[in-house]
């Protein structure tokens, strides 16, 4: 999507070959008008997929997931990374390791908000190695829900996430695909 690519070039910062900072409009400060447009584009791509719910992992995926859910007219579910004092019964859980951050966390989904009748669209800010998306898919499969696809704002196409997910039969749609990333260099696919 040209609009997102232009925003990345104007405001994004390539720190090194793995890190792209987009904190001025996606994951620290959020540009709501941009998110609305990105959500509409993601919803348009998946509009005929029978999506019943949109799921994201807290926290950077919340804005685009909410706008996508709004455009599709379906609820959004936030998968939690941190244990909750009140959300502690009837849970699906799985461990996910973040390649970028080098940490692991327990991803949690309440059984109260998902069922085998749901056909779920996963939305996230980035796709790199596919670990977060794979964890979300594991949780949704525990609930016997089906996966409509994965929509991401930015894909690091030089990393294996897309291949891992497509090998599982997941429809992957990225609004901006980065072919190469180096300090102060961003090249799109």
Binding-site annotation: residue ranges for xanthine: 20, 27, 156
Binding residue ranges for 5-phospho-alpha-D-ribose 1-diphosphate: 128-132
Rounded to an integer, what distance in angstroms lies between the CA atom of residue 32 and that of residue 37? 9
Is there a cis peptide before residue 133, judged by omega within 30 degrees of 0?
Answer: no
Alpha-helical (H) ranges within the chain are: 2-11, 32-46, 62-72, 131-142, 161-167
Segment holding 28, helix H or strand E: none
Q: Is 162 helix (H, G, I), strand (E, B) or coil?
A: helix
Structure tokens belonging to residue 100: 């970028």
Binding residue ranges: 20, 27, 128-132, 156
């Amino acid at each position: 999507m040209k609009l997102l690519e232009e925003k990345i070039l104007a405001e994004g910062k390539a720190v090194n070959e793995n890190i792209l900072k987009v904190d001025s409009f996606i994951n620290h400060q959020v540009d709501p008008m941009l998110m609305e447009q990105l959500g509409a584009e993601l919803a348009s791509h998946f509009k005929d997929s029978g999506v019943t719910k949109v799921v994201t992992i807290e926290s950077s995926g919340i804005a685009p997931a909410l706008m996508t859910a709004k455009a599709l007219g379906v609820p959004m579910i936030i998968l939690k990374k941190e244990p909750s004092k009140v959300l502690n019964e009837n849970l699906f859980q799985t461990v996910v390791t973040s390649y970028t951050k080098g940490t692991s966390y327990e991803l949690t989904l309440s059984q109260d908000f998902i069922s085998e009748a749901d056909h779920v669209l996963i939305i996230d800010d980035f796709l790199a190695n596919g670990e977060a998306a794979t964890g979300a898919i594991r949780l949704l499969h525990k609930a016997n829900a089906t996966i409509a696809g994965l929509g991401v704002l930015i894909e690091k196409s030089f990393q294996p996430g897309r291949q891992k997910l497509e090998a599982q039969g997941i429809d992957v749609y990225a609004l901006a695909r980065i072919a190469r990333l180096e300090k102060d260099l961003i090249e799109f696919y």
